[in-house]
A and B are shown apart, each in its own frame.
Chain A
Amino acid sequence: MELFEVAPDKRCQRGLTFRYYLKEPPDDEAMLEAFDERSSLPMITGQENWAGQMIHRRILQFRFEVRFGERAGEITFRHRATAQQEQRTSDRAWFEALLTEILAPS
């Protein structure tokens, strides 16, 4: 069963930003907790408050940023401009493997 779909942002950030649409998303808190538990990379955390809607950011500097909470059931994965193509491919593969692990039925 496909756990998620992914589409590149078609507008100005094409090539940098990918949107992940989760088929059966867990609640935001569970998703974030699962991600943080499994990610061993030195990520910087951040938050934004959009009129009460909390956006959670996980940033691996000069590589990528993952944004949780922008839209229900979606996660945004954004490469940094300085990340080389080989690194981008590897980073997204890492992210998708992690996402698969989190979302796979237990």
Chain B
Amino acid sequence: MSRKVAPLQRRDHGRTHRAQEPLVFHCNFYNYWLQKTLLLDPDLEMERVLHDASAAAAYASLTQSAKDLGADSAEERVKIAEDTFADQGFGTVQLSPLLSEKRVIDVPVSHYGKCLSQAITTDFGQPQTFMDAGYIAAAAAFVWNHPVESLCGKILQCQALGAEKGVVELVDCAEGRDWKPACGIGPGGKEAPPPPNANTNVDEGAILQALSGLDLAGDEEGLLPRFGVMLTNHFGNFYNRISFEFLHKMNGTGLLEAGEMLLQDAGYRCGFHTFGGIMESAEWDAVVKPQCKTQEDWVHGMVAVVNALGWGVWRVVELDDQHIVMRIYDDYESTGWLGMYGQSDRPVSHLATAGVAGLMNTIYLGDIQSKPTLDLDYYAKVFEIDGAFTAEETKSLSMGHAYTEIVAQR
């Protein structure tokens, strides 16, 4: 499919960029659980953070994309914005009204509008498409050459609440706004990752080569069904901004550690649903499973797949059925923190920490090889029993170490 988008670039240390904005794959389950976590306390007013984080990352990506593609006209900019939204799995947005300075924009298909509900059994009580609204505000600023902080997207209709399509209205909102631009690629570590652990039957290079043959762009509707989940090739700076601003707000109420635990809980869901979904998928059966002869091979195989997601380079240093030492080079959470706030005085890689524990629980306690149904009962059985793996971030790139290190044990 031909789209007017800036090319994806694979950079050092397992990072993927488009127009100098880092991209990371995450699925609808993580998107649902993270957003649910962030919206738990209405007093934190995280809706605005979600909106602005999306607007900042999108605006940076779109403006650089226009430069990379040599696109000057408003029509070209509309096309870039529509196609980038679809290509990255966010859905379909119809931005041509911007050419007539109209301010009401339709979103016929939305990942956040339609796909989060597939992760739950109840209905939503509030809109879920803050990311779309921020993206549309950024797109309008991009097309109209307005300052990005001068516009906001107001959700008029949301598919998560049963509307046939999403509708967003552009409003002026510069006054009193605490605007933070995206930080781009962010500083990375200087130490090169070592080769993959050789103590396995898994050939990571072959797996990465095979995965490069998959179509990982949004389909004609802008959705990305893959590995049994709905993926987004999302802005790393979006995830980092919303997660870390949440922690700042929780810190302001004396609940920083609780906030970190909540982010890790969202990460456990990612480890369960995303990793579990991948390990039960037809793609896994074809590309990875034939190489797996032991449970340890399943760990190495899943790590190989993670290394295709733009999260940094994961390396298994030690592994047995009781513990794992994982080192991550340029983990996207650390590079994001460093880019936004400078050096940290405490670990920040909560998604990665929970993901490592989740991986070990899913394989060694969850018997993922038998393809169990990945429902809430099974989650409780795997994650909430005595003897489940727990993880700790023992080193962090964000704190000035050469890499991030996570140790999980039971």
Q: A51-B286, A53-B286, A82-B108 are in contact. Are A12 and B213 (CB under 8 A)?
A: no
Q: Using C-beta atoms within 8 Å of the partner chain, give the interface range for chain A.
A: 20 to 34
CB neighbours of A46 from chain B (8 A): 215
A78 at the interface (CB under 8 A from B): yes
Contact B374 A65 (CB under 8 A): no
Say whether B221 contacts A11, CB under 8 Å.
no
| Contact pattern, B 19-61, Cβ under 8 Å of A = 1, otherwise 0 | 0000000011100000000000000000000000000000000
B230 touches A13 (CB 8 A): yes
Give 1 or 0 for each of A70-95: 1 = CB within 8 Å of chain B CB: 11000010101110000000000000
Q: Which residues of chain B are near A16, meaning CB under 8 Å?
A: 225
Contact status A13-B215, CB under 8 Å = no
- Contact assessment for B221 and A50 in the assembled complex, using a CB-CB cutoff below 8 Å: no
Which parts of A44-65 form the interface with B (CB within 8 Å)? 46, 48-51, 53, 59, 61-62, 65
The answer to whether B223 touches A71, judged by C-beta atoms less than 8 angstroms apart, is no
Q: Is A14 an interface residue (CB 8 A)?
A: yes
Q: How far is the CB of A46 from chain B (nearest CB, A)?
A: 7
Q: A48-B215, A51-B210, A82-B108 are in contact. Are A62 and B221 (CB under 8 A)?
A: yes
Contact of B27 among A12, A17, A61, A62 (CB under 8 A): A12
- A48-B215, A49-B213, A50-B283 known; A12-B228 Cβ under 8 A: yes
Q: In the bound complex, do residue B225 and residue A50 qualify as a contact, i.e. CB atoms below 8 Å apart? A: no
Q: How many residues of B contact A (CB 8 A)?
A: 34
Chain A: CB-nearest residue to B374 = A11
Contact status B287-A51, CB under 8 Å: yes
Within 8 A of B (CB), among A4-44: 9-17
| B257 at the binding interface (Cβ < 8 Å) | no
Give bound CA distance, A78 to B220, whole Å. Answer: 13
A17–B215 Cα distance when bound, in Å, is 18
B309 at the interface (CB under 8 A from A): no
- Decide yes or no whether B219 CB sits under 8 A from chain A: yes
Shortest Cβ distance from B373 into chain A, in angstroms? 7
Bound CA span A74–B106, Å = 37
Inter-chain contacts of A81 with B (CB < 8 A): 109, 114, 221, 223
Residues of A close to B374: CB separation below 8 A: 11
Q: Which residues of A contact B225 (CB under 8 A)?
A: 13, 16-17, 78
A12 is contacted by which of B229, B285, B287 (Cβ under 8 Å)?
Answer: B229
Q: In the complex the two chains form, is A65's CB within 8 Å of B286's CB?
A: no
B277 within 8 A of A: yes
Partner of A82, one of B28, B109, B210: B109
Taken together as a complex, chains A and B put the C-alpha atoms of A81 and B213 apart, in Å, by 24
**Residue of A at shortest CB range from B27?**
A12
Contact A12:B28 (CB < 8 A) given known A48-B214, A78-B225, A80-B221 = yes
Chain B neighbourhood of A14, CB < 8 A: 118
Chain A residue with the shortest CB-CB distance to B229: A12
Q: How many Å lie between the Cα of A52 and that of B60 in the bound state?
A: 38
B173 at the binding interface (Cβ < 8 Å):
no
Chain A residues positioned under 8 Å from B69 (CB to CB): none
Bound: A96/B221 CA distance, A? 24
- Shortest beta-carbon distance from B206 to chain A in Å: 7
Measured in the bound complex, the distance between the Cα atoms of B378 and A10 in whole Å is 14
Task: Say yes or no: A12 contacts B221, CB within 8 Å.
Answer: no
B213 touches A50 (CB 8 A): yes
Shortest distance from the beta carbon of B120 to any chain A beta carbon, whole Å: 10
A12/B29 in contact, CB under 8 A: yes
Contact with A along B245-286 (1 / 0, CB 8 A): 000000000000000000000000000010001000011011
Neighbouring A residues of B219 by C-beta, 8 Å: 59, 65, 80
CA distance A65 to B273 in the complex (A): 24
Partner of B118, one of A13, A51, A71, A82: A13
Does residue B306 face the partner (Cβ distance < 8 Å to A)? no
Q: Complex Cα distance A71/B206, Å?
A: 20
Find chain A residues with CB under 8 A from B161 CB: none
Most buried by B among A13, A14, A82: A82
Residues of B within 8 A of A76 (CB): 282
User: Taking the nearest CB of chain A, how far is it from the CB of B219, in angstroms?
Assistant: 7
A sample of 20 more A-B contacts (CB under 8 A), given A61-B220, A70-B286, A82-B109, is A11-B229, A13-B228, A17-B225, A46-B215, A49-B210, A50-B210, A50-B287, A51-B206, A51-B207, A51-B286, A59-B219, A62-B220, A65-B219, A71-B282, A71-B285, A78-B225, A80-B220, A81-B223, A82-B92, A82-B221
**6 tightest A-B CB contacts, nearest first:** A70-B282, A51-B210, A50-B286, A12-B118, A49-B213, A53-B286
13 pairs, A vs B, C-beta closer than 8 Å: A12-B29, A12-B273, A13-B225, A14-B118, A46-B215, A48-B214, A50-B210, A51-B206, A51-B213, A61-B220, A62-B220, A70-B282, A82-B109
